[in-house]
Amino acid sequence: MNIVLCGFKNCGKTTYGKRLAKELGREFFDIDDIIVEQYLQQFKEKLSIREIYAKIGNDEFRRLEKEVAGIVAKKDNAVIAAGGGTVMDPDNVKMLKKFGRLIFLRCPKETIKERIFKGGIPAFIDADNPYVSFEKIYNEREKQYLAVADEIIETHVGASRWCHLLIKCRS
């Protein structure tokens, strides 16, 4: 059974996912990284996930994301980092849950906001009104993460967060 980490951008999915996979002796897959690889193979252009989203737009990005989610969902006994918006699509949730457990890495909104804006405004946030856009998207996504998660790990509660995640995933 796979372990699928979901949560907002910059909540620690990749960091925790790599560490968890190593500790459990499992393969690690990051949906965003695979999208970058597939885009490079298909279009012969190396772009970041942010650049891909900006270039192809939301609808085409979500189509590509669904394709990748379908591939990684069928992996066996892997740790998967979902993209921040991956679980907003009910089909993706169904696929990922069929072969794994969804774990929501919950991080405080202010921490996420600080991390995101420190790196520049992502393409999925309206640059004309970024703070209002962030609030809207964060609230929509958090509601969905809570609705679909099999487990919730609070990532801001000190060193115990790693131990808690590891214990949950070993059981």
Strand order in the sheet with 100-106: 28-30, 79-81, 2-6, 100-106, 151-154
- Distance CA(99)–CA(109), nearest Å, equals 29
- Higher pLDDT among residues 87 and 123, named by residue: 87
pLDDT at residue 154, as a whole number? 85
> Chain-wide mean pLDDT for the chain?
90
pLDDT exceeds 60 at position 158: no
CATH of domain 2-170: 3.40.50.300
% pLDDT > 90, the chain: 73
Q: What pTM was computed for the model? A: 0.90
Q: 89-98 pLDDT, tens per residue?
A: 999 999 999 9
Domain spans of the chain? 2-170
- The whole-angstrom separation of Cα 7 and Cα 102 is 10
Question: Confidence band (pLDDT; 50, 70, 90) for 159?
Answer: very low
In angstroms, the Cα distances linking 31 to 2, 10, 80, 110, 157 are 14, 14, 7, 25, 26
**Tokens 């690690």 — which residue?**
28
Confidence of residue 166 (pLDDT cuts 50, 70, 90): low
Give the residue-averaged pLDDT of 36-43. 94
Task: Give how far Cα 65 sits from Cα of 45, 52, 72, 146, Å.
Answer: 17, 11, 11, 21
pLDDT of 87 > 70? The answer is: yes
